[in-house]
Amino acid sequence: MTNVPPTPSSLRGAVDLSSLVDRAQRPPQTTSAPDPAAPPAVAGSGAVTLPSLVIDVTDETFQDVLQLSDVVPVIVDIWAEWCGPCKQLSPVLERLTEEYAGRLVLAKVDADTNPQLVQAFQAQSIPTVAAVIGGRPLGLFVGALPEAQVRDVFEQVLAAAEQNGITGSVTVDGAAAPGDGADQGEPEPEPLPPHHQAAYDAIERGDYAAAVQEYRTAIAQDPHDQMAVAGLAQVSLLDRLQGRTAEEIRSAAGAAPQDVEAQLAVADLDVSGGHVEDAFGRLLDLVPTVFGTEREALRVRLVEYFELIGAEDPRVVAARRRLANALY
């Protein structure tokens, strides 16, 4: 296995995937069936064929990504359906992946259904974007970035891959040839409303407090702006977690299981990592044991989570029913 060079400045936070696969035990590249007439495959070169350059992967299928990363670098997008910034970032990742025409692949991981990958990539907030090069993971960035910055990150990933001999390509099974009348790309997304764009810009520069204010202004102007409501819930969570470590939060919660503030903080951490049911259970267990302002704080936070995740989500439906029973 080749060695990944020192991480460039924008490729931060290497993670350990040893809990998912033992690289020493896995076989050489087997991403596509070999051609009996072809010469032996060499890891890092050659081409493979996939149904798409954008693939959905799970805890169970991630070994395929590790194998594929011996041919091309794989970008990993850890997202969730309820995550507002994910909806902004994912189309950018997908569009750029298509533009690079098989030099890299995008692997999408649903945080709600793949806890092992969330843990392996240390995804304390989503979206979390990483790369895998020659079976080695590299942390890239957290949160939504503008397309120009994402493109710069992709270029650095490709440069790191080339330094390690990962210079293969992926072709799409049944892909249409250029000029045959096939779809030449997705339409440009509609521009965001002004306060949404201002919030998005604030999130990019890490000013979550400013983003909170922009979303609150949007809601004041239109109380039915559900995108702003969901965005406010998401960025409020990020604001509360900013500057704190997971170890610090979990240690405080473990030391004071009846402390409402400590449990609210660890519930934020659970939700940011996709452990929604854990967060719901933690707070709902506390509701019957406290009163007054503490109970109201739990109710408000749970309602915020409901907005964040979506009213139709079955976990929200069950938690909302349980909250109503505890309160009334």
Summarize pLDDT for 279-307 with one digit per residue, the tens: 999 999 999 999 999 999 999 999 988 88
Q: What is the pLDDT of residue 204?
A: 78
76 or 225: which carries more pLDDT confidence? 76
102 or 29: which carries more pLDDT confidence? 102
Say if CB 79 and CB 109 are below 8 A apart.
yes
Query: And the tokens for 321?
Result: 């029913």
What is the average pLDDT score of the chain? 80
Task: Report residue 219 CA to chain centroid gap.
Answer: 26
Q: Are strands 54-56 and 105-110 parallel, antiparallel or unpaired?
A: parallel
Active site annotation includes 251 = no
pTM: 0.52
Query: And the tokens for 235?
Result: 């960025």
Report, as an integer, the average pLDDT of 218-223: 92
Q: What is the pLDDT of residue 6?
A: 32
Q: Is the pLDDT of residue 103 over 60?
A: yes
Q: Is the pLDDT of residue 32 over 60?
A: no
pLDDT in tens, 230-244: 888 888 888 898 888
Query: And the tokens for 153?
Result: 């990150």
Instruction: Please identify which of the residues 48, 66, 72, 83 carries the catalytic annotation.
Output: 83
Say if CB 11 and CB 137 are below 8 A apart.
no
**Opening angle at CA 299, ends 298 and 302, nearest 5:** 85
Give the helix/strand (H/E) hosting 62. helix 62-68
Active site annotation includes 86 = yes
Nearest to 74 by CA among 56, 92, 59: 56
pLDDT in tens, 53-75: 999 999 999 988 888 999 999 99
Instruction: Please identify which of the residues 15, 54, 71, 86 carries the catalytic annotation.
Output: 86
User: Confidence class of residue 175 from pLDDT cuts 50, 70 and 90?
Assistant: low
pLDDT in tens, 82-99: 887 888 899 999 999 999
Task: Report residue 312 CA to chain centroid gap.
Answer: 21
Q: What is the pLDDT of residue 38?
A: 36
Q: How far apart are CA 308 and CA 111, in angstroms?
A: 14
